[in-house]
Amino acid sequence: MQIRELEIPDSYEITPKQFGDDRGVFLEWYRFDRLAEAVGHPLSLAQGNTSVSKRGVVRGIHFADVPPSQAKYVTATHGAVLDFVIDIRVGSPTFGKWDSVLLDDVDRRAIYIAEGLGHCFVALTDDATVSYLVTSTFNAEREHGIDPLDPDVGLVFPDAAGEPLLSPKDTAAPSLAEAAASGLLPTWEAARAYYDALNKGA
């Protein structure tokens, strides 16, 4: 597989090598050792999630308190989504910026999103099926959101997605500026300290 760091530090695009024949396709969609080489430590996986979304559904922007937050390894097993990583770490050199990766059942890419980063995707097809491996279990009290339509973040959804469809929770989420002003966002310093502790533990 090929692993490429995205424009947002501590996030990576993973492109697997696919082996196809007249029976179908085989690939390794997750390799703990290869990812550990890139991020500096192996992932301690705690939970696996799957979502199925119709075209236009937007999930996110979601994040969790640091520490421990929740690193994510995400792929689309059916259909297609455009997956976004947003730097919400106050003090980061790329604070407020984002990058994206097309996840689909053709190239079968994955994206790794470190603790403290924001995550969002928009479904480009009906029945878009996304699977997540995460490093901590869900804790509602530590989970937060930012409005994915915040113009200051400026996520660009493809025309193929159609009209964005948001949950009431995501619709009511604060803007990035509001979240920062309320002290809700993780800091660059706290995230780096957490990454360093994980790397030393490796």
Sign of CA dihedral 140, 11, 25, 53: positive
| Cα separation, 137 vs 172, whole angstroms | 24
φ, ψ dihedrals at 37, nearest 5°? -60, -40
Distances in whole angstroms, Cα of residue 137 to Cα of each of 30, 85, 97:
19, 20, 27
Three-class SS of residue 40?
Answer: coil
| Cα separation, 29 vs 142, whole angstroms | 29
Which residues are part of the catalytic machinery?
62, 132
Sign of CA dihedral 198, 84, 30, 17: negative
Three-class SS of residue 197?
Answer: helix
Q: Could you tell me which of 86, 72, 71, 60 has the C-alpha nearest to residue 146?
A: 60
